[in-house]
Structures are given as structure tokens and as C-alpha cells.
Amino acid sequence: MFLRYTTRKKNGKEHRSYSLVENRRCASGRVVQRHALYLGEINDGQQEAWRKTIEIFEEGRARPRTVALFPEERSEAVADEDLVRIRLSQLSLPRPRPWGACWLAGQLWEQLGLDHFWAQRLPPSRKGTRWDWVLQILAPYRLLDPGSEWRLYRHWFEHSALADLLGADLELADEVLAGHTSDKTTLADFLKKMEEQYGQAERIWVMDRGIPTEAVLEQMRAAQPPVQYLVGTPRGRLSQFEEKLAALPWLGAREGVTVKLLAEGSELYVLAESNDRVGKERAMRLRQLKGLWPRLQKLQQMKLQRDDLLKKLGAALHDFPVGARLGETQVPPQTATLTLALRRDKLRQARTREGRYLLRRNITAGRGPEELWPFYRQLTEVEAAFKSLKDDLSLRPLYHQVEDRIEAPIFISFLAYCLQVTLRRRLRDRAPGLTPRAVLEKFATSQMLDVHLPTTDGRTVILSRYTHPENEVQLLLQRLQLELPAQPPP
């Protein structure tokens, strides 16, 4: 195995992405390279850590060893009538099921201490139903292969190794998920019980980068206690306060970011300027102009009918909207001639506003510029959380008449998100560049299957065994400092 990098330029910067590649020799003797893991952009220290891990993994890799089927010395002879032979020709491997990802989810559950936490707060029912196990099924299911509870009961639980890891069987799924418990308790009752356990959680307002309406902000101000917010504003409001903000001094919020603070009524307006964002927006503007202007100049030289010229002009302006706002084009009513002009006033205004954005908040005192910026950065974390919940965990609108039936499934999704965040935090320290989804997909390649060995006396020896992890999974285990459990007993 070795690290390979690829470079690409984006927004005027050179980005270098790394991948883990493995050499494999084919039957013909030719060596092919197989992509094992995509690590993304990593710094020099992380790159060196990966190289050291690969060296340790290659040097410490176990060598295959041939062992005898029977010991060389036997204490006593065994009569033929006492021997039971295995029919190897009839060996079968039924019920292959994902094991590695389920095991990793269980490790995250235990690392967070959720097994002991919920065992104390969700005791077994009077008929022996393990509600903490039900929760330990629902949360990993939402993390690994999200879907409906009906699909969990009908397909997923039976075709996964989660029952083997918990020591449960299909009776748990049949009782709880199908609603056939002897004490008449259904999954819906359990979800209601879950809502009672975590109680009346404090409700907070979460805003995305979309600009909230005044009605929404008024609700936030009227809440008891008032909800703190720091949200974006329309471009027009920046023009409204541009003269007042121009007279104010710049204050340092963090390295590369400066702000201006303007108190207006009950709100505080924050004009922020980021050096990185200045470079990014400037590169975008130049790319738009470099693409639009030569195209318009070619249209000037073409001999076209007026209608055809207008169609091509509209397509060009549609493809480069930012550059279109900085230029002025005219086509006279009766001729097919195109005139171009650069709107220098708009260009000066664009250069002035590049990398700047106006925020507003409802608390005018108490925090300085250096404290405002981490508060605003939380918005990015909230967006990432919503993206994970909607994409990776497939959280969808819930249509119920009872509020408890809505909050409890959301809480289960939150527990799955906790597992995902824990894995992401472990990866950031020990395997940088990898995403939780990529790691779960790699671990999912480790399967569990039942080895059926028929004997000469009509019985069958059944061994449940998980497959030997592939090289990239072994490398991940070494990086995450995890050790696979012993194989299950026969």
C-alpha cells in the first residue's frame, strides 16, 4: 500500500487530494493498482502519520501458516465407531449478512456509554422485553441503512448481524416491531415511552443561511426567554447602512476576519470581511468576465439575423450571470449589431463588497467581536448537522396527529447522529481525510455467515463466523485502535 495524490486548481488555489492505493498481482503476473481509500485533503503531519501506519501495517501483517488437521501425538486411540466424520462435499455457507458496520456501530454505542445509560433508564418490561436493545437496534439502523420501521422488521434485522452481536433473536423483532408483545406493547408505545424519558427538552430556533422573514424574527424576539440569533440580511440592507458603516473602524474578530459593529434600535448589525472570501469571490468574478467577454466579442463579429443574435446573447448572459451584471449590452430595434460596454460603477461596487456580508443579531451588548465570530460559526455546524440528518440519516417529515409520535423518531435520529459525530471525531484525530460514510461502507464488506458442516450421523455442525477483514479494513482498525472480537462459539 502507498499514498498517491492528485492536484487540481479551484478558485485560484491548488488543492491536493490523497488516496490509499494497493498493489495486487494478477494471475498473469501483471501488477495492478486498486483504489482502497479516498482520504481527501490532508496536511503534512497527517500525511506522515498515514505513511507510518502503512509501514507498521505492512511489517506486522500476519503470515499464513499451515497446521495439521489432527495432532501428531494422541494420548489414546479412538475406535472407528466413536468417530463422526464431516461431509466436506456438502458444506454450505447460508445467510451471509453485514457484520462489520453493525459491529462498529456497537463499538460507538459502547464508547458513548449508551448501553449502561439506557439499561438503567429503560428496564425490561414485566414480560421480559429488552427495551434498551430495541433502542440499540433502532439507532444503528438509522445510521447504517435508514428506512421505515416496517422495513426494519420485514427485512433488515433478519438480514444483518445485529442480532448476533446483541445475543438476541428474531423474536425480539417479531414482538416489538410487529406489535405482537405478550404485554400488548407496540413500537409506538415504546416511542412514546422514549419521549417521556428525555422529557420536555428545551426548544431552540435554528436558522439556516436563508434570510428569515420579519415575522419569524418577531417570534424569536417574543419567545420567553428571547431567542438569540445571528442571521444574514438582504443585499439591500447593506446598501441602506453602507454610509454609516463606512465611518466606523474595523475590529479584529479572528485571523483574516475583521468586523464593523453598528447598533440600530434593538438590533446590532455586523459587517464582516473575510480575506479568504475576498480571494474566492474575486476569482469567481474574473472567471465570469473572462468567459463572457470573449464570447460577446465573437457575437459582434458574427453575421446573424437579429432574432438569432438575441437568442445567442441571452444564452451567453444566462451562462455567466455574475459577469452579465457588470456589463451592458444593447441591440438596436432594427439592426443586428451588438454593442458592449463595461459598467465601471458596478465593477467598483462589486470590488468594494467582495468578501463582505452583513449580519444582524438581537443583542446589542455583552459580547465583543472576538466572541461574535464563534457564535456565527455555530451556524455552519448546525447546517452540517441538518445535512447529515437529511442526507445520511434520511430524516423525512413525519405525519402524525400526536406530537409525541413525531418527537420520539426524531430523537432516535439524533442518537444515530451522535454515533456519526463520534465516529467523525475519532477519524479527525486518527484517520484524517476519511468521512464516516466511507468508513461504514468499508466495514460493511466484512460479512457474517453460517458454516454448515453435515456429519455422517445425520447431524449438522453450525459455526457462525465473520469473514477476515480486507487490508484496508485492517488498516482502519489499526488507525482507530480497535480490536475485533473472538469468533462466536459453535
What is the pLDDT confidence band of residue 119, given thresholds at 50, 70 and 90? confident
Average pLDDT on 223-233 reads: 73
Span 64-91, average pLDDT: 60
Residue 289 and residue 215: Cα distance in Å, rounded? Answer: 39
For residue 105 the three cell numbers come to 456501530
Q: Is residue 142 within 8 Å of 393, Cβ to Cβ?
A: yes
Q: What is the chain's mean pLDDT, rounded? A: 79
Grid coordinates belonging to 341: 460596454
pLDDT higher than 90, residue 103: yes
Tally Cβ neighbours within 10 Å of residue 436: 21
Asked if residue 54 has pLDDT above 50, the reply is yes
* 230, 379 contact by CB (below 8 A): yes
CA angle 210, 214, 218 (to 5 degrees): 115
Instruction: Tell me, yes or no, if the pTM score tops 0.75.
Output: no
Question: What CA–CA distances, in Å, run from 225 to 204, 222, 374, 447?
Answer: 11, 8, 22, 52
User: How confident is the model over 273-290, as a mean pLDDT?
Assistant: 90
What's the pLDDT at 196?
A: 58
Question: How far is it, in rounded angstroms, from Cα 95 to Cα 429?
Answer: 36
State the Cα–Cα distance between residues 323 and 48, nearest whole angstrom: 43
152: left (phi > 0), else alpha (psi -120 to 50), else beta?
alpha
Cβ–Cβ under 8 Å, residues 444 and 19? no
pLDDT of residue 189: 61
pLDDT bin (cut points 50, 70, 90) of residue 80 is low
Q: Which of 365, 318, 314 is nearest to 338 (CA)?
A: 314
State the helix-helix crossing angle for 100-111 and 436-443, rounded to 10 degrees: 130
Q: What is the mean pLDDT of residues 237-242?
A: 83
pLDDT digits (tens, 9 = 90+) for 400-423: 666 666 777 788 888 888 899 899
Give the C-alpha distances (Å, rounded to integers) separating 361 from 217, 364, 384: 10, 7, 21
Please check the confidence at residue 205 and state whether its pLDDT lies above 80: no
Strand order in the sheet with 460-466: 97-98, 447-454, 460-466
* Whether pLDDT at 181 is above 50: no
Quick check: 476 and 455 in contact, CB under 8 A? no
